Chain A
């Protein structure tokens, strides 16, 4: 499974399932943001732009995890970190100031509307990147180290 670049593919084996779940959320978040922006953008532009950002990050994470190359791993790690930060920040903000989020987004109330999967998914994504990275550490020690630093910084 380990390739020349010193990393284990992130889109095969159990990663196949992870990418599938990510894909579903990319679709859910993307469709929701698209409808919000197309039909009632004026009501809450900031919330809907955040919704679109969330969707873009899910799409990025899905594609990067599926591709699983050297650069893709870094992109996936960054996307998962942004997701985790986003779900925590927007989740908190939506509870403290509900009026600024008239419509639910995938990250509202820590993803409660989606069974808290948006909260759990980036954690699993980062854990999976870390695990597959470690499996290929022999050749790619430096890259994995960098990734771990970024992971713990979020």
Chain B
């Protein structure tokens, strides 16, 4: 796992979630910046997936490589799903979906760090 990238992803995910929360609290619908934030997050996750799979294919990586690969691939589904589902809702609940997506990505990255270092499976 690439630590600087993982940290950057967590930061971006939390910023996206916070920006979503701001809109939800102010009772505003989703705007273009929410989608842009998710797009940036998705790009980073795709880079991570490629780097991660390359590392797994080489002999680097945790004992539970399958679990890690599951996270690597599963996590890239979240931003597009959140964007697609949230954009349909023209109320505060649209950005609320973005909050869930951002938090889910952040939690999953933390979990991936634990799996990578073998702390706990």
Contact = CB atoms under 8 A, between A and B. Distances in A.
Majority-rule SS of A interface residues: helix
A38 B100 contact: no
The contact size tier of chain B is: 20 to 34
Contacts, number: 50
Interface string B94-105: 101100110010
Contacts of A20: 82, 85-86, 96-97, 100-101
A17 B100 contact: yes
A46 to B, nearest CB: 20
A81 B67 CA distance: 29
Given A20-B85, A27-B78, A34 B97 contact: no
A19 interface: yes
Given A13-B93, A16-B89, A21 B70 contact: no
A24 interface: yes
A38 B70 CA distance: 11
Interface of B: 66-67, 70-71, 74, 77-78, 81-82, 85-86, 88-89, 91, 93-94, 96-97, 100-101, 104, 121
